[in-house]
Amino acid sequence: MDLILKIWRQKDAKSTGKFVTYSLKNISPNCSFLEMLDILNEQLIQKNEEPVVFDHDCREGICGMCSLYINGRPHGPDDAVTACQLHMRKFKDGDTIVIEPWRARPFPVIRDLMVDRSAFDKIIQEGGYVSVNTGGAAEANNILVGKENSELAMDAAACIGCGACVAACKNASAMLFVSAKVSQFALLPQGQVEAKQRVKKMVKMMDELGFGNCTNTYACEAECPKLISRSNIARMNREFMCAKVI
């Protein structure tokens, strides 16, 4: 495949970025999207040019590091996959591919396609955990958990925190991410002890960091590579109301 790439290049967080166009020839349709970028970077290095900086780690869709906005969609044109799981067979020979970094005020661009997503870490630090005293491990079956709730909690816990929900949302809202993290604990008895404080503190931090407000377009759900459901947002709203009113 021959491709034309339009890639956002930005030297550092303070510089003004711009799109740079590159031509790539003889790319295999079986190549992954990130491998295609690796090939581009090899060519740039050979020409003594700066390679394109982009986040990646596991390259098998579980770490949540890749964060590319490809032709108007986070993680590209395939559904329920991360950019590292996207293959070039999803594109056509001669296609122009525009690659942008996630765009949101709390996700500043560090360089090229790499953004700082530590805003998510700050939200997690506010309550995305269960406090457990050290000591001998308790018998797991002492606390009974319903099958349905354990499945829902596991579905919520599948969130890898990639930020595609924020990137897809027209408001750059982080509601799907925060609600998944709130839900995975709220659904389990171990998480209910700190549930009220958790939801209040995590929502407060989300607001302080400058994420937008949810307007129920459900773009987040549509673009989530882990298919996190919007029902988590409703659950977080319920949790929040109960925590505030009761």
CA distance 74 to 125: 25
E-only strand ranges, the chain: 3-9, 18-24, 68-70, 73-74, 96-101, 109-111, 114-115
Q: How far is the CB of 27 from another protein (least distance, A)?
A: 20
Tell me: does residue 237 bind another protein (CB under 8 A). Answer: yes
CA distance 15 to 246: 48
User: How many residues bind to another protein according to rule CB under 8 A?
Assistant: 47
List the x/- string, 1-20, binding to another protein by CB under 8 A. Answer: -----x-x----------x-
The residue whose two tokens read 């594109």 is: 91
**Kindly report the CA angle at 133 between 175 and 117, in degrees rounded to 5?**
30
Residues across the chain: 246
Tell me: does residue 230 bind another protein (CB under 8 A). Answer: yes
Q: Report yes or no: 91 and 78 within 8 Å, Cβ to Cβ.
A: no
Q: How far is the CB of 20 from another protein (least distance, A)?
A: 12
Which tokens hold the place of 226?
Answer: 């882990």
Chosen residue from 111, 212, 225, 226 binding another protein by CB under 8 A: 212
Chosen residue from 52, 84, 86, 168 binding another protein by CB under 8 A: 168
Q: Report yes or no: 203 and 162 within 8 Å, Cβ to Cβ.
A: no
CA distance 180 to 200: 14
Site for another protein in 26-85 (CB under 8 A): 69, 71-73
Q: Interface with another protein by CB under 8 A: which range of 34-42, 51-59, 124-132, 164-172? A: 164-172
List the x/- string, 123-162, binding to another protein by CB under 8 A. Answer: ----------------------------------------
Q: How far is the CB of 80 from another protein (least distance, A)?
A: 13
CA distance 152 to 66: 26
Instruction: Give the interface with another protein as residue ranges (CB under 8 A).
Output: 6, 8, 19, 69, 71-73, 98, 100, 103-106, 168, 170-173, 200, 203-204, 206-207, 210-219, 222-223, 230-231, 233-238, 240-241, 244-245
